[in-house]
């Protein structure tokens, strides 16, 4: 097990144990768990399914115009709608051009039974657990739904 400690911009410091990193505030003893998302998009997809099954929630970004969607980087002429398995990971994307979006939860049963069906009918891909570099698996909604059936 690797244990490491490093200073961040004051007033924060981080303590890492293995792959888990926790950031602490020197002033009020707050702590925040860093994202578990990595550059391995398949692992992030697996984490998306596991965490959403456990928490029964999916997280997305929405503003007054609707839910966030953008052009696919994997498939030409395709649109993708990103979702995350934790509120914290969704919040990390709530900056810059997406700062006007609100982070909202969707109950997993509604996501699987309604959202994925509608996205499939509309030809929209699902982006799962995009990391800080906006890398993530883009999957057909029906393929994602199959991962919840088993």
- For residue 111, what are the domain limits? 41-149
- Judge whether 120 and 75 are in contact, CB under 8 Å: no
* Residue 1 reports pLDDT greater than 50: no
Give yes or no: residues 73 and 22 share one domain.
no
Give yes or no: residues 61 and 78 share one domain.
yes
61 contact partners, CB below 8 Å, separation of at least 6: 67, 68, 82, 90, 93, 94, 98, 101, 102, 103, 104
Q: Which pLDDT band holds residue 31 (cuts at 50, 70, 90)?
A: very low
Q: What is the pLDDT of residues 36-80, one digit of tens each?
A: 888 888 999 999 999 999 999 999 999 999 999 999 988 888 999
Number of domains the chain contains: 2
Give yes or no: residues 17 and 67 share one domain.
no
Query: What's the pLDDT at 98?
Result: 84
* Residue 86 reports pLDDT greater than 50: yes
Give yes or no: residues 145 and 81 share one domain.
yes
Give yes or no: residues 110 and 49 share one domain.
yes
């Amino acid at each position: 097990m690797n244990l490491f400690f490093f200073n961040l911009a004051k007033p924060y410091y981080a303590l890492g144990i293995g792959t888990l990193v926790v950031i602490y505030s020197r002033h009020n003893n707050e702590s925040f768990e860093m994202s578990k998302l990595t550059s391995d998009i398949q692992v992030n997809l697996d984490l998306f399914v596991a965490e959403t099954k456990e928490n029964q929630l999916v997280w997305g970004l929405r503003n007054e115009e609707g839910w966030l969607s953008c052009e696919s980087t994997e498939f030409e002429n395709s649109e993708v709608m990103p979702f995350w398995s934790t509120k914290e990971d969704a919040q990390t994307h709530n900056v810059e051009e997406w700062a006007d979006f609100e982070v909202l939860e969707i109950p997993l049963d509604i996501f699987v039974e309604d959202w994925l069906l509608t996205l499939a009918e509309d030809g929209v891909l699902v982006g799962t657990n995009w990391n800080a570099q906006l890398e993530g698996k883009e999957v057909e909604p029906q393929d994602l739904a199959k991962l919840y059936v088993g």
